[in-house]
Amino acid sequence: MIIALMGYTEDVVGKKFGVMGGSAIYSDGTYYWRRDTAEYVENYRTGLPSGFMEHGARMQWSVPALSDAEILEIDDFFESLRTQG
């Protein structure tokens, strides 16, 4: 987990699920995703980018441990997005 966000997210498509901490951000160092992403994929069979799927298969669907420096770099990226504008 890169950014831990408390709260409860609800399915914005069909109200089928809710996820504690659903807007938290996870990363494997290459891609990032919200905690509630899997629920949308499971409930609505939404597609994921082919690059993500290929990367996941290469990693055997295991998320590697990131160093503190890698986590800070990703966190800095998200902070830069918040301050743009």
Q: Does residue 51 lie in a domain region?
A: yes
pLDDT of residue 85: 63
- At 83 the pLDDT is 87
Q: Name residues of the chain where pLDDT drops below 70.
A: 85
Q: Which residues pair with 32 in a beta bridge?
A: 27
Does 71 map to a domain? yes
pLDDT recorded at residue 82: 87
Identify the pLDDT of residue 21: 96
| Count of Cβ atoms closer than 10 Å to residue 14 Cβ | 9
**pLDDT for the residue numbered 80:** 93
Range of the domain at 37: 8-83
Structure tokens at 80: 């830069």
Helix or strand or coil: residue 37?
helix
Phi-psi region of 27 (alpha: psi -120 to 50; beta: other; left: phi over 0): beta
Q: What's the token pair of residue 23?
A: 């807007």
- In a domain? residue 73: yes
For the entire predicted model, the pTM comes to 0.84
Q: In the structure encoding, which two tokens stand for residue 38, read together?
A: 């899997």
Structural domains counted in the chain:
1
